[in-house]
Amino acid sequence: MQIIANPFPFEFQLDRTALVIIDMQRDFIEPGGFGETLGNDVSLLQAIVPATQAVLQAWRRRGGLVIHTREAHRPDLADCPPAKRNRGTPALRIGDEGPMGRILIAGEPGNQIIEALAPIEGEIVIDKPGKGAFYATGLQSELRGRGIRSLVFMGVTTEVCVQTSMREANDRGYDCLLLEDCTESYFPAFKAAALEMIRAQGAIVGWTAPSASLLAALEG
């Protein structure tokens, strides 16, 4: 398949490509969650849910591999570096009791993927202690075992966990596409800059495209 993308068309083979949905977890997206307690406007992130859901459903209809990630730590915080937990002076730190359970802890209500995008049987869920999806996870072996060569990214936030994961993937030899209307940041200027950085210099990190480009190919 070939789709219209920036800075030039993106080519991929469906059975060699995974759809990777980064950190669409309740604490980042839903009102009353951790993201909102930090003073962020979560409505920005909620706005991408319909487009993200449409791509997920189309990808599922074509039988494509789906991978979900969550930024999640073990309850004993053994996988949370003190430098990550202790930085700054936030009202709530990782592991503290928040409005939807302990912040960024696996198994807590706020750490679950939002209902609209909830994983179904056969989809892979990766809990990651870092911003990147490859660091200290089994993602690389899951992809290798299935002969995956290309990754299509959606999720939040564009300049943090999405961009970090794309850079990790690019360095590991994957062709990466980011769907522009299926990713968001609490800071619109950071999203715009991240999209520019990714596709600059001849797709130095990867490609970007509107979801309509991919949907047209999947449904065509």
Residue numbers annotated as active site: 23, 128, 161
Interacting stretch for ligand C5J, rule CB under 6 A, among 40-48, 56-64, 153-161, 165-173? 153-161
Stretch that binds ligand C5J, among 49-57, 95-103, 152-160, 190-198 (CB under 6 A): 152-160
Binders of ligand C5J in range 10-39 (CB under 6 A): 23
For residue 52, say if its preceding peptide bond is cis, omega within 30 degrees of 0. no
Which is closer to ligand C5J, CB of 58 or CB of 160?
160
Measured distance CA(16)–CA(155) in Å, rounded: 21
Helix or strand or coil: residue 52? Answer: helix
Q: Which is nearer to ligand C5J, 113 or 156 (CB)?
A: 156
Tell me the residue ranges of DSSP E strands in the chain.
2-3, 10-11, 17-22, 65-71, 97-98, 101-102, 124-128, 150-156, 175-184, 207-209
Are 71 and 104 in contact by the 8 Å Cβ rule? The answer is yes
Please give the biggest Cα pair distance in the chain: 51
Of the pair 29, 217, the CB lying nearest ligand C5J is at 29
Question: Is residue 160 a contact residue for ligand C5J (CB under 6 A)?
Answer: yes
The one among 5, 55, 80, 156 contacting ligand C5J by CB under 6 A: 156
Nearer to ligand C5J, 160 or 182 (CB): 160
